[in-house]
Every structure is written in C-alpha cells, then in structure tokens.
Amino acid sequence: MTKIGLIRHGLTEWNYLGRAQGISDIPLNEQGIQQAVKIGERLANEEWDIIISSDLLRAKETAKIIGSRMGLPITVDQRIREIDCGEIEGTTEDERVIRWGKAWREADLGMEKFETVAQRGIGFLEDVAIRYEGKSILVVSHGALIGLTLQHLLPEKFPTTHIDNTSISILQHHEKEWNCQLYNCIKHL
C-alpha cells in the first residue's frame, strides 16, 4: 500500500487579502511560516519517506520547513502547481465584480479548466503510487489542485471540497483502489 499525504501550503498575504493567486509566485507570510512549522512538528513523529512539492514558492517554502523538521529530501514537480487563474490573478472578488460583472465566472478570462487541473492531479497521483509503491509520500501543493483532484478521484465522497492552509488529507492506494483516510485535518493549528 502507498500512502500519500496531501498538504496545502501555508498562508500568504494574498490568501489573507482574498486575492486569487493561481500561478503567481507569492511567498508565505509570517502566519503561513508558523503554520508550516506546526505541521512540520506534527509530522516529525510520523513515518514518511519523501516530500514532493509544487514548484511555486509558497509550496516550496512550506515543504522546506516541513522537511527541515523531518530530515526528508524534497523534490519538485510542476504538475502539482496551482490552477492558472488567467486574468483574475491578483484580484479580489469585489474587484472581479467591478471589472467583469457579477457573472465573471462565466466569462472567458483565460482560467485553466477545472477538469484539466483535476487530470493533472490524478495523473501525478497515479505516477507517484507506481513510482513509490509501498512508501509514504508527503505532497505539498495548493487548495484548488488538491480539492479538484479529490473531487474527480473520489466523486462520491467529495462532491465539493474545502482545503485549509497547511491541512493534510491522506490517501491510500492499494491494488488500483484509492481511499481517503483523513481529510482536511488541521489539528496541529
């Protein structure tokens, strides 16, 4: 059995302000650094083999903090970066409504399709389950990528999702079957 712990990065200033981040490379803020320290301390008492991080700064910083507490190597994979939010990156909901109207979600603003994000995430998980069969892998990624992946991987369990900063969700893969053992856990906070 392969175990995969999906962790959302720590808080950034744009998270705090309600700005869409997408693939903008925003660092953790002080609170996000403290969140990463807390989950690193929680996980230091568990058995994990490797950390794989998104290539975006906020995820890499989170992974580095966790890895320093656990003495684990970190690899980077671009497939688990956040959804590309196109023209809405850097804007708040209010700014989007002013700029594009209340129906802005229906406009073509260059945003990556949810299905594409989910397929990226599922493809990554399937590769990891094969490559690291029998291992325990931590994956530091992003809210939309994790949520959309779970919704498409286990749709009956996750018709919708909410992923908190530095939450951990644990998947198990055994004989081509996926199971979610833990979802959006933030007990370390």
The residue extents of the domains of the chain are: 2-185
Give the model confidence (pLDDT) of 12-29 as tens digits. 999 999 999 999 999 999
**Distance between CA atoms of residues 164 and 105, nearest Å:** 22
* 82 annotated active-site: yes
Average pLDDT over residues 46-51: 97
String of DSSP letters for the chain: -EEEEEEEPPPBHHHHHT---TT--PPB-HHHHHHHHHHHHHHTTS---EEEE-SSHHHHHHHHHHHHHHT--EEE-GGGSPP--GGGTT--HHHHHHHH-TTGGGS--SPPPHHHHHHHHHHHHHHHHHHTTT-EEEEEE-HHHHHHHHHHHSTTT-SS----TT-EEEEEEETTEEEEEEEEE-TT-
* 41 annotated active-site: no
Give the model confidence (pLDDT) of 93-106 as tens digits. 999 999 999 999 99
pLDDT for the residue numbered 16: 97
Q: What is the pTM of this model?
A: 0.96
Average pLDDT of the chain to the nearest whole number: 97
pLDDT for the residue numbered 84: 98
Question: pLDDT confidence of 4, banded at 50, 70, 90?
Answer: very high
pLDDT for the residue numbered 123: 98
Per the residue annotation, which of 82, 89, 142, 173 is the catalytic one? Answer: 82
Per the residue annotation, which of 9, 61, 142, 173 is the catalytic one? Answer: 9
pLDDT for the residue numbered 169: 98
pLDDT for the residue numbered 148: 98
pLDDT for the residue numbered 178: 98
Instruction: Domain 2-185: give its CATH architecture.
Output: 3-Layer(aba) Sandwich (3.40)
Give the model confidence (pLDDT) of 85-137 as tens digits. 999 999 999 999 999 999 999 999 999 999 999 999 999 999 999 999 999 99
pLDDT for the residue numbered 8: 98
Give the model confidence (pLDDT) of 23-48 as tens digits. 999 999 999 999 999 999 999 999 99
